Amino acid sequence: MVGPKDFNVFTRFFSNWTFILILSIVAFVQFLAQTPLLSWLLVTTTLTSKEFWSCVVLGSTSLLGSVLVKLTPERWLEKLPAKMQMDETKAVGGQSMITKAIEASQKTAKDRQNKAKDLPVGDNDDDYHHPQEDEEE
């Protein structure tokens, strides 16, 4: 996570290999999307060099915006209503319905794992054979 005073978002860019893998896959699929191999499926067209670099510049404006926000004096932020203030050390949307649903799903999955760990070996439903089934065979 980037802290309130951190300006270089690329400092630990290569520290998370999952992120690097996903980013590489996205870049590869985007490259393939403008080739005949996938352009028919994704209905894309080849970009000119000018169009490509225009996209890069427009996409990078969010980096410039984040720097400008971080340069905003804190005394200005104190004048904002409490609803508009944000603590960068806490997750955004922690009280949203989606976050609550995900947390409930994770809790349910964890409870199932814990319950399965408590069962003696061979006592879970998948391993249980009813005696009647054995007689029918």
Q: What is the pLDDT of residue 52?
A: 86
Give a yes or no: residue 134 inside a domain: no
Query: Within this chain, do residues 99 and 82 fall inside the same structural domain, yes or no?
Result: no
Please give the average per-residue pLDDT across 109-122, as a whole number: 74
Query: Within this chain, do residues 49 and 95 fall inside the same structural domain, yes or no?
Result: no
Give a yes or no: residue 34 inside a domain: yes
Q: What is the pLDDT of residue 58?
A: 94
Query: Within this chain, do residues 60 and 94 fall inside the same structural domain, yes or no?
Result: no
Query: Within this chain, do residues 102 and 38 fall inside the same structural domain, yes or no?
Result: no
pTM of the model: 0.43
Selection from 2, 1, 7, 11 nearest residue 67 by Cα: 7
Tokens 């996938």: give the residue.
Answer: 38
Q: Which domain holds residue 115?
A: 90-120
Query: Is the pLDDT score of 133 beyond 70?
Result: no
Query: Within this chain, do residues 75 and 106 fall inside the same structural domain, yes or no?
Result: no
Return contacts of 67-72, CB within 8 angstroms, 24+ apart: 67/7, 70/4, 70/5, 70/7
Query: Within this chain, do residues 8 and 44 fall inside the same structural domain, yes or no?
Result: yes
Burial readout 43-64 (b: 16 or more C-beta within 10 A, e: otherwise): eeeeeeeeeeeeeeeeeeeeee
Domain count, the chain: 2
Query: Is the pLDDT score of 86 beyond 60?
Result: yes
Distance CA 73, CA 81 (A): 16
Query: Within this chain, do residues 42 and 72 fall inside the same structural domain, yes or no?
Result: yes
Provide the percentage of residues in the chain whose pLDDT is more than 90: 9
Query: Within this chain, do residues 53 and 111 fall inside the same structural domain, yes or no?
Result: no
Kindly report the backbone phi and psi dihedral angles of residue 111, in degrees, each rounded to the nearest multiple of 5, phi listed first: -60, -40
Query: Within this chain, do residues 15 and 73 fall inside the same structural domain, yes or no?
Result: yes
Give a yes or no: residue 6 inside a domain: yes
Query: Within this chain, do residues 59 and 97 fall inside the same structural domain, yes or no?
Result: no
- Secondary structure of the chain: what % helix, strand, coil (to 5)? 60, 0, 40
Query: Within this chain, do residues 62 and 110 fall inside the same structural domain, yes or no?
Result: no
Q: What is the pLDDT of residue 24?
A: 93
Please give the average per-residue pLDDT across 86-99, as a whole number: 73
Query: Within this chain, do residues 46 and 4 fall inside the same structural domain, yes or no?
Result: yes
